[in-house]
DNA sequence: TTGTAGGCGTTATCAA
DNA sequence: TTGATAACGCCTACAA
């Protein structure tokens, strides 16, 4: 049986009130008492029962995050770093992180969110992989339930978010490719209803426009953010009668898949074909050749999201914040020779 | 304000007792009443407050898992798949998964575990990355707190676990390398106090012995399970006056780092130098050349661990189970040519 | 500065 | 078959 506040109070011949307040740092407890209480609690190994406190305070001191395990093999290293950031930052503020997994396509995703909201299992949510119209945003807004997002939706709703300027990044990348002499620049996309896809694709188009190149829908093939998706999409591009000389990919995993397709055809990436990604995952440093990518500080972004959410929980009244971050173009060998 | 059981009871002119029992499927409620209750609860959008129930039942219906974020850049894809397995399997049984992060070396890891135990925040733990003498096992055993592990420790304590036979796997790999004509086979290890290291290293030694090769301590270099660790360790091996012709690595990430070192020296992996890993992560399929590895079903292992833990929670009395799994040797091009 | 008492939303005991 | 009531462990007005 764990030690309760009662045990501590009894041992000291104090009321549980005093013990509770001494431990919570209230000012109306004498220093002598406080010291005794803290020391005894420590000695007895007392740790407040979080659940009881939660019930009393109507707060779970817990943040919810549901991993979008869309593919059977869920392997995007993005989420490693992301989770590490969420976990560390939450722990720092003595918050817990409740994690679950759901396929965004399936109904059980909705059930999960609703269960945590209605059962007051968490105080707020971290959302990412936003869709342009995302039911989660609408639902949580209606329920008046705190949340923060990475990337934004098109909904006319105010909420806290961190945004990575995928558009500017992609535009910069296209310029770089054009500078390297490329004229036929393809793009491997993600599902069109994803926010990150919309902005990165917009950047691709803007980049073409800015450099006077014409947009060719035939050079855009949809992937699914995985290696395999990138591999297959790249095959289709390389099968074209007039294939591209450069491929910009919506993320690093896609680019890595595309590199594989190129290799299989005996093409030398960085020479015969330029390939670039987006994310800056570690794996991209070690590919052959190393992958040019738009690097975003995933860990820091995760920390920022937690901070934003905690602020929101503390002060529900303050206006929502939007934090903007620009990705950094890391030019590596996969694009450093022209055509 | 969320709807409580009281609201439902009031609406139906029933006592909260009856409502509670109707919803929990007790048999002493008339079918008519139960039907009414369930329907009304549904209509009103009632979801039991999990926290209140937890307090009352002394159960959190939550599983705890603390990610070992030992390196600043925490990127091992192993944990993606592992987490997905834990999350999905837990959700299936209506359990939640509480996640945090801690560096095994730091003191804050102990605090975290203790806080969750003492605060009864979780019902049990999933442990992995076991050390040969692991304070977690000892602590939880003393506290009589449920847990299951992936890999085992040397402690004389009975507990549920899933074990991957790293020794047999590594022995098989060494045989394979010898068959391919290798005689100087190096090994890049992990920290010696890790259980997985002990068994895999034992397999390496057993493999040498079985094939009549002499063990040479100079051919063993310690890595840290990361790409970079593997990279540096491989450099040391390749700097030897009489370098190895094959390198067995404690995991895939290490092997991928080692490949990079080989590439940088202009060596062709699979021809000049054989390299193999352990884990079977997806990335290992796409390396150049594809990496020979000992594949383990990470997702299924995670599911098994959750199942074991839930059984333990349901029936504390039954004797601990040990589930044994053998890794599968996937021979790919990184080792398929001899010397 | 300290103590008393009530209640958070549930489930469990016992009586009706 | 149903209902009143007492916890679970903690926090917090309010009283002393």
Residue A338 pLDDT greater than 80, yes or no = no
pLDDT score for B27: 81
CB contact under 8 Å between A84 and B101, yes or no, is: yes
| pLDDT tens by residue, B201-213 | 999 999 999 999 9
Query: How does residue A339 score in pLDDT terms, banded at 50, 70 and 90?
Result: low
Three-state DSSP string of A45-109: CCCCCHHHHHHHHCCCCEEEEEEECCCCCCCCCHHHHHHHHHHHHHHHCCCEEEEEEECCCCHHH
CB contact under 8 Å between A84 and B67, yes or no, is: yes
Residue A70 pLDDT greater than 90, yes or no = no
Note the residue count of chain A.
339
Nucleotides of D under 7 A from a protein CB: 1-5, 7-13
Residue B268 pLDDT greater than 90, yes or no = yes
Nearest residue in B to A58, CA atom: B51
How far apart are alpha carbons B47 and B4 in whole angstroms?
Answer: 8
- Mean pLDDT across the stretch B19-31? 87
pLDDT score for B32: 86
Q: Under 8 Å CB-to-CB from A26, ≥6 apart: which residues? A: none
- Mean pLDDT across the stretch A207-216? 96
* 3 state DSSP class of B162: strand
Which burial class, exposed, middle or buried, applies to A207 when counting CB atoms under 10 A from its CB (0-12, 13-18, 19+)?
Answer: buried
Closest-lying nucleotide for B9 based on CA to C1': D3
Query: How does residue B111 score in pLDDT terms, banded at 50, 70 and 90?
Result: confident
Q: Which residue intervals of A163-251 are DSSP H helices?
A: 166-179, 195-210, 227-238
Partners of residue A52 in chain B, C-beta under 8 Å: 55
Specify whether the CB–CB gap between A137 and A143 falls below 8 A: no
Residue A1 pLDDT greater than 80, yes or no = no
How far apart are alpha carbons B186 and A232 in whole angstroms?
Answer: 37
| pLDDT tens by residue, B221-250 | 999 999 999 999 999 999 999 999 999 999
Residue B233, min C-alpha distance to chain A (Å): 16
Q: Which residues, numbered 247 to 276 in chain A, qualify as contacts with chain B under a Cβ-Cβ cut-off of 8 Å?
A: 256-257, 260, 263
Closest partner residue to A283 (CB to CB) among B48, B112, B283 is B283
Specify whether the CB–CB gap between B95 and B62 falls below 8 A: yes
Which burial class, exposed, middle or buried, applies to A7 when counting CB atoms under 10 A from its CB (0-12, 13-18, 19+)?
Answer: middle
| pLDDT tens by residue, A174-193 | 999 999 999 999 999 999 99
CA distances from B121 to A9, A42, A53, A231, B51 (A): 22, 19, 11, 44, 11
pLDDT score for B70: 73
Q: Does A74 touch chain B (CB under 8 A)?
A: yes
Partners of residue A84 in chain B, C-beta under 8 Å: 67, 69, 74, 101
Nearest residue in B to A68, CA atom: B84
Cα B3–A314–A37 angle (5° rounding)?
95
Q: How far is the CA of B13 from the C1' of D3 (A)?
A: 11
Residue A213, min C-alpha distance to chain B (Å): 33
Query: How does residue B107 score in pLDDT terms, banded at 50, 70 and 90?
Result: confident
How far apart are alpha carbons A75 and A106 in whole angstroms?
Answer: 19
Closest partner residue to A119 (CB to CB) among B50, B60, B114 is B50
How far apart are alpha carbons B198 and B194 in whole angstroms?
Answer: 6
């Amino acid at each position: 049986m764990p030690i309760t506040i009662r045990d501590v109070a009894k041992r000291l011949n104090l009321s549980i009130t005093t013990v509770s307040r001494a431990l919570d740092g209230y000012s109306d407890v004498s220093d002598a008492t406080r010291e005794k209480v803290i020391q005894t609690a420590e000695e007895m190994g007392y740790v407040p029962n979080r659940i009881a406190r939660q019930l009393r305070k109507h707060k779970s001191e817990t943040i919810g995050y549901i991993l979008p395990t869309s593919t059977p093999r869920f392997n995007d290293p993005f989420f490693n770093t992301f989770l590490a950031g969420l976990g560390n930052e939450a722990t720092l503020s003595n918050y817990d992180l409740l994690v679950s997994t759901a396929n965004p396509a399936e109904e059980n995703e909705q059930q999960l969110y609703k269960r945590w909201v209605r059962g007051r299992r968490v105080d707020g949510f971290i959302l990412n992989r936003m869709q342009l119209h995302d039911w989660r945003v609408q639902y949580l807004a209606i329920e008046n339930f705190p949340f923060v997002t990475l990337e934004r939706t098109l909904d006319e709703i105010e909420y806290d978010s961190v945004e990575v300027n995928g558009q500017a990044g992609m535009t910069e990348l296209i310029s770089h490719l054009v500078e390297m002499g490329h004229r036929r620049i393809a793009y491997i996309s993600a599902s069109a209803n994803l926010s990150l896809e919309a902005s990165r694709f917009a950047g691709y188009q803007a980049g073409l426009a800015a450099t006077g190149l014409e947009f060719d829908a035939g050079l855009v093939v949809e992937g699914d953010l995985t290696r395999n998706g990138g591999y297959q999409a790249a095959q289709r591009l390389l099968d074209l009668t007039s294939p591209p000389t450069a491929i910009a990919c919506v993320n690093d995993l896609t680019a890595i898949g595309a590199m594989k397709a190129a290799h299989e055809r005996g093409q030398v990436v960085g020479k015969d074909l330029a390939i670039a990604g987006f994310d800056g995952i570690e794996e991209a440093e070690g590919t052959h050749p190393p992958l040019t990518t738009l690097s975003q500080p995933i860990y820091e972004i995760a920390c920022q999201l937690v901070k934003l959410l905690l602020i929101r929980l503390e002060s529900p009244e303050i206006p929502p914040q939007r934090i903007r971050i620009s990705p950094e173009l890391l030019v590596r060998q996969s694009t450093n020779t022209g055509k």
